[in-house]
A and B are shown apart, each in its own frame.
Chain A
Amino acid sequence: MKRIALLLSVALALAGLALAKKDVKIAFIPKLTGVGFFESGGKGAVAMGKMLGIHVKYDGPSTASVSGQIEYINNFVNQGYDAIAISALSPDGLNQALKRAMRKGVIILTWDSDVNPRYRTFYISQGTAQQLGELLVKMAADQMKDPKSGKKKVAFHYSSPTVTDQNQWVRVAKAKIKKDYPNWEIVATVFSHEDAQQAVQVPTALFQAHPDLDAVICPDANALPGTAQAAENLGIAGKVIITGFSTPNVMRPYVKRGTVKAFGLWDVVKQGKLTIYVANLLVQGKKLKVGDEFDVPDVGHVKVYPNSVQGYTYQGKVNNGIILLPERVVFTIENIDNYDF
């Protein structure tokens, strides 16, 4: 009896410790620093940290390198961080580092770009590949007078064939085109490797090689402004549909000049906030199951989805799944000034 009481009191004390856990430290790692998109996610993460009264550190490699991300993961683990949220550069390359971190009791989340679901708790997703891929096609189709008839020529332009998320979106978009718009011909898929100069050169050649192009779909932060710039340089701005994903601050001048009528993204500031909110819940010992719903200040109502929405087969019982951002945004000249990232 005494022993049970003792055990109980120890357990209670531990639980109390867990609940009252102060000095929570959470690391928020981007693919690379110095890109507006990730910096804004970092700002959201740090802001949520302030709101919750916990310590949030935004830092990561300055070039997109998997080994750089591993170094940051190891460093944060060694410094005793409670949780690490990362936008992964590789779906499998971080596995060993993440495994080691989890063994040491660090809670792992991913945001923006996922890893194998065995090596993280939750993926804070901007939307499923299905949602985003279809959004790409919808934005292009909505700008055509008669998208379902007549021959249409479209092209894709993004960073490189090795970037997981962009590839998934484009695969979905191509499937959607095949199914719903069989009259669209995909004449080319070109890459600019996150190099701003190539992001202008490549679509310039594309426009000249295919003068009758109807639309270019660019789900990449360099590719979209680069394509818009190329169209302006060639004097064909407004005559060809240019859409895709990029940040509002980069695209604002092109939208104001009418070169780009509509493009999409999600509110990455909110994504940063949501990520830190969930990370803090887990550090405080909360158990989340698939189907759970909760409200997040500044972000909205969210729900825990199974990994299968992203096409995975692995599914842990608790604290494993995908949490989607409530909404994605299509920016136009009407709403672009409401966003600053």
Chain B
Amino acid sequence: MRVSRELLVTGLLVALILLTALANPHVLQFKSLVEILNASLTLVLITLGEMFVILTRGIDVSVGASAGLAATVLGTVLNLGWGLPAAIGAALATGLAAGAVNAFGITVLRVPPIIMTLGTLGIYRGLMRIITGGSWIENLPQSIKAPNLWHFLGVPFFVWVTLAVLLLTAWVALRYRPARYFYAVGDNEAGAYLLGLPVRATQFLAYTLAGLFAALAAVVFTSQIGFVSMNAAEGYELKAIAANVLGGVSLTGGVGTPLGAAVGALFMTAVHSMLIFLGVPGVWDNAFAGVILLLVVFADFRLRRSLELRRRQARIQGEPAGGEAR
């Protein structure tokens, strides 16, 4: 009876694609679907990182800027003549450091997360301009763009990488005991502390992971786009938060899964492509995406409410509960 948010959003996504196919069957081509996946990777990765933070009932609005900074470092060292592995290493280290700075401010200095990450959002964007002197990073070596053109079974390399990262994250979140700390801390921080869980360390790890995932996204982004503009990944912090909510990760902490977050991000990206297949004038783009987000969250809320009511009804009548309690 319980409809998980992952299933609800996946179902809606399939419905949206099928509906679009009625108007323009080209959307059902294997290549079209793969390209939609390919376009969603940046947001999927940033959303996954943000998920850890939201699970602990925090918020990180600097993830877009962290991704931008990591992409800037990647592009800059590549143009200095570094090899690809070293450059990717530098980008990931940048993301880790950016996340760790947030983590330090929030867990050690006790700055409220929204203030801390709003501050670093400005700092990281500023650093990007200081590193580049304000210009775009262009003329990147072909080595960084090559992985984007590798395919396995007709599917781009980065889709496989992201899928592997997603499955690993999902597996860890489900099976690895300490991963449950994220949920425990977000659900009831004081309770988790009394249970003897390492609350601060868990929060520290969440923000650091957000930075690392943002850097992973930056590598994919740079490879796919081939240049780094100074507004790279701007606004992705809000998209990532929205994608999490859409995918069932609760802003009040403790609830949500990596698969849900990823499906949410995929959905948010797919909407833009669908509108083009449908031939909807581009003017409608953002408004349409906003309406869909609200509709899904609202539908989910109603669904849960009616299940809850039925359960109560059942309890009053002394019968076994119809829906499984969560």
Q: A161-B283, A249-B139, A252-B139 are in contact. Are A208 and B26 (CB under 8 A)?
A: yes
Q: Is A189 on the interface with B (CB-CB < 8 A)? A: yes
A55 to B278, CA, bound (A): 53
CB pair B221–A197 under 8 Å, yes or no, is yes
**A225 in contact (CB, < 8 A):** yes
A36 within 8 A of B: yes
Which of B36, B132, B230, B283 has most chain A Cβ within 10 Å?
Answer: B230
Question: How distant is the Cα of A32 from the Cα of B135 in the complex, in angstroms?
Answer: 11
Whether B42 contacts A197 by the Cβ 8 Å rule is yes
Closest Cβ of chain B to A201, distance in Å, is 4
- Report the interface size class on chain B: 35 or more
- How many residues on A have C-beta within 8 angstroms of the other chain's C-beta atoms? 42
Which one of A14-22, A89-97, A226-234, A299-307 is at the B interface?
A: A226-234
**Total A-B pairs in contact (CB under 8 Å)?**
128
Interface residues of B in 184-243 (CB under 8 A from A): 221, 224-227, 229-235
Contact B149 A233 (CB under 8 A): yes
B279 and chain A: residue at smallest CB distance: A188
Q: Which of B35, B129, B226, B232 contacts A205 (CB 8 A)?
A: B35
Q: With A225-B226, A233-B148, A252-B139 known to touch, is A208 a contact of B27 (CB < 8 Å)?
A: yes
The answer to whether B234 touches A195 (Cβ under 8 A) is yes
* Prevailing SS type, chain B contact patch: helix
Known: A161-B283, A196-B227. A202 touches B35 (CB 8 A): no
Q: CB-defined interface of B275-309 with A at 8 Å, one 1/0 digit per residue? A: 01101011101100000000000000000000000
Q: How far is the CA of A205 from the CA of B282 in the complex (A)?
A: 13
Complex: A196 Cα to B38 Cα, angstroms: 14
In contact, A253 and B139 (Cβ under 8 angstroms)? yes
CA distance A35 to B285 in the complex (A): 24
Q: Is A320 an interface residue (CB 8 A)?
A: no
Contacting pair B229 A222 (CB below 8 A): yes
Chain B residues whose C-beta falls within 8 Å of the C-beta of A190 in the assembled complex: 276, 282
Question: Can you identify 15 A-B contacts, CB atoms within 8 angstroms?
Answer: A34-B129, A34-B231, A62-B230, A189-B281, A196-B225, A197-B221, A202-B273, A202-B276, A204-B273, A205-B35, A205-B36, A208-B29, A233-B148, A249-B136, A250-B136
* Nearest 5 CB-CB pairings of A with B: A34-B230, A201-B39, A191-B282, A205-B273, A205-B276
